[in-house]
Amino acid sequence: MLAGSMGAMAQTAPTDAKTLAPVTVREKAEAPQGKDSIKVERTTIGKGNQELRNIPQSITVLTEKLITDRNFDTMKDVLRNTGGISFQAAEGGEEDIKLRGFSLQGSGDVFVDGIRDPAFYERDTFNDDRLEILRGSAALLFGRGSTGGAVNQVNKQPLLINQNEVDVTLGNHAYRRATGDFNIKTGESSALRINAMVNKADNNGAGSSIDKTGIAAAYRFGIGEVDEFSVGFYQLENNNGINYGIRWIKPTSASPTSTSQLNPNLDPDAYYGMDSDYNHGRATYGTLSHVHRFSGDTELKTVVRKGRYTRDQRATLWNFAGAAAQPNGQAVGLDNFGPNTVLTRAAQNKVQDLDTLYGQSDLSSKFEALGYKHELLTGLDFAHEERTVYGTTQTTAQATAAGLSRPNTTIGTPDDGASIPEGSRLFGMSNNYTSNGYGIYAQDLVQLAPMWKLLGGLRFDHMQADYNAYTASTGVQTGNYSMNIAKISKRAGVLFQPNDLMSFHFAYATSFNTSGDAYSLGATNAETPPEESQNLELGARIDSADKRFTTRLALFQSTKLHERNTDPLIPIAILSGKRHAQGLDLDFTGRLTPQWEVFGSYSWIPVARIDIGAQGAEGQGQRPSLTPKYSGTVWTTYQITPQIRVGGGLNFKGKQQPNRNPGFFSPGYVTADLMAEYTVIEDKFTIKGNVNNVTNKLYGDALYTSFYVPGAGRTMQVTAKYKF
């Protein structure tokens, strides 16, 4: 029986002893996911609101509590402390992620509340309820995407409570950050939530300087009722500095390039760019959503999001000047590196806009048919994306005349104050990319027997894209390319659940990614079909007897069956490549005792190989770059007294080669973090101190063929939290 409002039904007392109590979904909808715990039971990354044990695929969930305990300010901070993830240094500040040895471009496999978030910007955690990592092929759920998986940021939602929180953090490198989280119950079934952030800091190597603000607001009404609505707005403004990277260095000037290494004689905090460098970006989007509940087991959720993203990057990539320009007339190596070493400075400018419109509608339902229990997920989605890239219109001579040439500098003069009038640099449109796509999918989880469930699903995607190239200075069109694809993705799995503490699974899923995922088409790739991949996984999720602690583990094999390579005889991209990776993922999270909480994430990839590939830098028979054999983190906290809580953890990663396998490795490393918290007033006021990278370890965080971005050195921060 459904009469007007489930919320109203929940408030009606039964008038007869034989009358069944009405069912409400409000309590489930309002259950906190991770405000006060690092362990959760449900996820939204798999479409709908599902129990983790019913998804035959590895999912790592990092809750708000874990994020705030460790003072993770960006999505990249969270990911780098997770097993199986590495970073390529390429475009300056972008999340160019590798998971299980396969690329997750920040433009393709990052989502916010299950909706693609393709822009190039550094994502902040101020509005995150949690972050979810789906490992392995994810095309059935999201359409085009890589083999490695997907990352989903879950925004904070209004709840039916009055609760406010303000956090202020101060630290070394002039670090200042303030966040506010204000949740206001505005009616019996409505609430408003506002989150705000301001963050500033001086340079700290990898992060460069920070100057950003954020605001997010959401209003929900009809919460828990038959029809629930939500309207939201989000804006993040970055006006940061940018440290493009540090050059690898050879042991001696005569050493081969294959012996290159990190530079231990260079302060990672030293900045050799220009005072006029900056990385200004703005991400803005509005979201409308509606949930219609046909019953307590069936609901239809529809979401529309309009986004606008801008980026204006003026960066300096420095390099060692040639031998003739050096004081001793020799090429640079560690044996002659010093204060008088001369550096050149080159422009790495990137100006672009991205406009997006996404719509999706998902139906989830539990029912019985033909004698079996079913959990059905089905839906459709639409995506419109338009990206415009701008190039400089000035010739080299004109730029020089305008004072836009970057002067040389030396190692002994970091932060030399040199500046150029970036405002006089002129730009015109150099290319424009527009795509439209839609997808439709259906997936059913069938209870075959008391302990066995079978999953099967199919998805169809169609995508059409156009790319136009122009001469920036004249606006004359120089090229036009189109892409039209249609693709079917598959997902299948079996679950064995002998009791409510154990769930074992075996799963198979496919994925594909197109040439247009990078928003760039050309004569060499416009006609190239999508790459195809598959993922096999054997895994388990096991809870402790009291359900306070969970262990998740999985054996996997991910294979890119058809990988793009450039044919040496004809200059086009063809699907001639193949690579695979095999390994083990392991997560554990929860409480060992009421006072002792633990989180761990580990990935071991002993086998990774390019089976078929082009000869050369990253060729056939080699281990793929940016694929360390092991990586992970361990974090634990202990409540010593009702007022005092302490914590600590280790982050580690094995050696790995930069992209294109240049023949040398960035060494493995281990860093340590510490935390201590004192509750001044229970449930009101706490003070927390964090020291990250306690030993000030030098390591390569993001790697590229010719340079690397170092990990942040030792940071010390104190946070005051006030709830009211």
Interval 465-484: pLDDT, tens: 999 999 999 999 999 999 99
Q: Residue written as tokens 């097993």?
A: 83
Interval 206-248: pLDDT, tens: 547 899 999 999 999 999 999 999 999 999 999 988 888 899 9
Q: What is the pLDDT of residue 4?
A: 41
Q: What is the pLDDT of residue 577?
A: 87
Give the 3-state secondary structure of residue 325. Answer: helix
Phi/psi zone of residue 626: left (φ > 0), alpha (ψ -120 to 50 degrees), beta? Answer: left
b/e burial code for range 186-222 (CB count within 10 A of at least 16 → b): eeebbbbbbbbbbbbbebbbbbbbbbbbbbbbbbbbb
Give the 3-state secondary structure of residue 156. Answer: coil
pLDDT > 70? residue 291: yes
Q: What is the pLDDT of residue 7?
A: 41
Distances (CA, A) of 481 to 387, 435, 497: 15, 12, 51
Query: Could you write out the three-class secondary structure of 21-46?
Result: CCCCCHHHHHCCCCCCCCCCCEECCC
More confident residue, 656 or 11: 656
Gap between the Cα atoms of 4 and 22, Å rounded: 13
List strand residue ranges (DSSP E) for 83-148, in order: 85-88, 97-99, 102-104, 110-112, 115-116, 128-135
Interval 423-453: pLDDT, tens: 899 999 999 999 999 999 999 999 999 999 9
More confident residue, 146 or 560: 560
pLDDT > 50? residue 13: no
In the chain, count H helices and then E strands.
Answer: 6, 36
Q: What is the pLDDT of residue 439?
A: 97
Q: What is the pLDDT of residue 164?
A: 97
Contact yes or no for 261/251 (Cβ under 8 A)? yes
Distances (CA, A) of 387 to 174, 367, 671: 36, 43, 39
Contact yes or no for 633/651 (Cβ under 8 A)? yes
More confident residue, 572 or 150: 150
* 236-245, 344-353, 601-610, 696-705: least confident range: 236-245
- pTM for the model: 0.92
Confidence at 574, pLDDT banded by 50, 70, 90: confident
* 10-24, 172-186, 359-373: least confident range: 10-24
pLDDT > 60? residue 205: no
Q: What is the pLDDT of residue 91?
A: 60
Residues 6+ apart with CB under 8 A from 413: none
DSSP of 501-557, one letter per residue? TEEEEEEEEEEEE-GGGGT---TTTTTPPPEEEEEEEEEEEEE-TTSSEEEEEEEEE
Q: Residue written as tokens 């995150």?
A: 128
- Tell me the mean pLDDT in the region 630-634: 97
Gap between the Cα atoms of 461 and 46, Å rounded: 18
Contact yes or no for 380/361 (Cβ under 8 A)? yes
Q: Which secondary structure element, helix H or strand E, spans residue 427, and what is its range?
A: strand 427-449
Give CA torsion, residues 202, 204, 208, 209, to 10 deg. Answer: -10
- Tell me the mean pLDDT in the region 705-721: 94
Q: What is the pLDDT of residue 23?
A: 42
Distances (CA, A) of 242 to 272, 336, 493: 11, 28, 45
Q: What is the pLDDT of residue 75?
A: 93
Distance of CA 86 to the CA centre of its chain: 11
Residues 6+ apart with CB under 8 A from 396: none
Task: Name which of 75, 215, 232 is nearest 158 in CA terms.
Answer: 232
Q: What is the pLDDT of residue 105?
A: 62
pLDDT > 80? residue 109: yes
Confidence at 107, pLDDT banded by 50, 70, 90: low
Q: Half-sphere exposure of residue 164, counting CA atoms within 13 Å on the CB side?
A: 9
- Tell me the mean pLDDT in the region 613-618: 68
Q: What is the pLDDT of residue 19?
A: 38
Give the 3-state secondary structure of residue 394. Answer: coil
- Tell me the mean pLDDT in the region 45-49: 81
Q: What is the pLDDT of residue 647?
A: 98
Residues 6+ apart with CB under 8 A from 371: none
pLDDT > 60? residue 1: no
The answer regarding whether domain 31-723 maps to CATH 3.40.50.170 reads no
Average pLDDT of the chain is: 91
Gap between the Cα atoms of 491 and 653, Å rounded: 31
* 38-47, 391-400, 430-439, 639-648: least confident range: 38-47
List phi, psi (to 5°) of 563: -110, 140
Task: Give percent of the chain above pLDDT 90.
Answer: 79
More confident residue, 19 or 34: 34
- Tell me the mean pLDDT in the region 594-620: 89
Confidence at 540, pLDDT banded by 50, 70, 90: very high
Contact yes or no for 355/288 (Cβ under 8 A)? no
Task: Name which of 680, 690, 591 is nearest 648 in CA terms.
Answer: 690
pLDDT > 90? residue 29: no
Q: What is the pLDDT of residue 178?
A: 98
pLDDT > 50? residue 27: no
Task: Name which of 645, 672, 691, 674 is nearest 175 in CA terms.
Answer: 691
Supply 724's token pair. Answer: 């009211």
Confidence at 199, pLDDT banded by 50, 70, 90: very high
Q: What is the pLDDT of residue 343?
A: 97
Task: Give percent of the chain above pLDDT 70.
Answer: 92
Gap between the Cα atoms of 707 and 272, Å rounded: 14
In the chain, ranges of CATH 2.40.170.20 domains: 31-723
Residues 6+ apart with CB under 8 A from 16: none
Look at the chain and count its residues: 724
pLDDT > 50? residue 566: yes
